[in-house]
Amino acid sequence: MYHLMIKTHFAAAHNLINYQGDCENLHGHNWRVEVTVSAHQLDKSGLGIDFKVLKATTNRLLDELDHKYLNDLAPFRETSPSSENICRYLYEQLSLALNGDNIQVERVNVWESENACASYSAD
């Protein structure tokens, strides 16, 4: 099994719902995103998936979040836009776009700061 990972980022504002503390107030982050996929086989070029395809698919999704107020977006109107919920959302959307016979999204990590990361996988 091969594992491939890309790193990218987006910036957005949010406030946590049902949270008591500073993060219930409007604030923003420069989130770093890591996407890991697995490939069972390599194609005739020796690739599991072209990094260009993985990056483009991920960045199209992140464009919907970038420089937005996350609480106003449909996926987070009823769900707190925490790093945990953001990585689950990204995982689910990327799985719909990428999963097939050979490629499976394995994990999405979302870093809200240098020292704080949430991860989501199907395990």
**Interval 20-71: pLDDT, tens:** 888 889 999 999 999 999 999 999 999 999 999 999 999 999 999 999 999 9
Q: Nearest-CA neighbor of 5 among 112, 98, 120, 108?
A: 108
* pLDDT higher than 90, residue 122: no
**If you search the block for the tokens 């949430």, which residue do you land on?**
118
Check residue 23 and give its pLDDT.
82
Residue 116 backbone phi and psi in degrees, to 5: -140, 120
Which of the four pLDDT bands, split at 50, 70 and 90, describes residue 123?
confident
Q: Which residues contact 89 (CB under 8 A, 6 or more apart)?
A: 75, 76
CATH dotted code for 2-120: 3.30.479.10
Tokens of 34: 């890591």
Tokens of 121: 């996988």
**Domain limits, the chain:** 2-120
Q: What is the mean pLDDT of residues 81-110?
A: 97
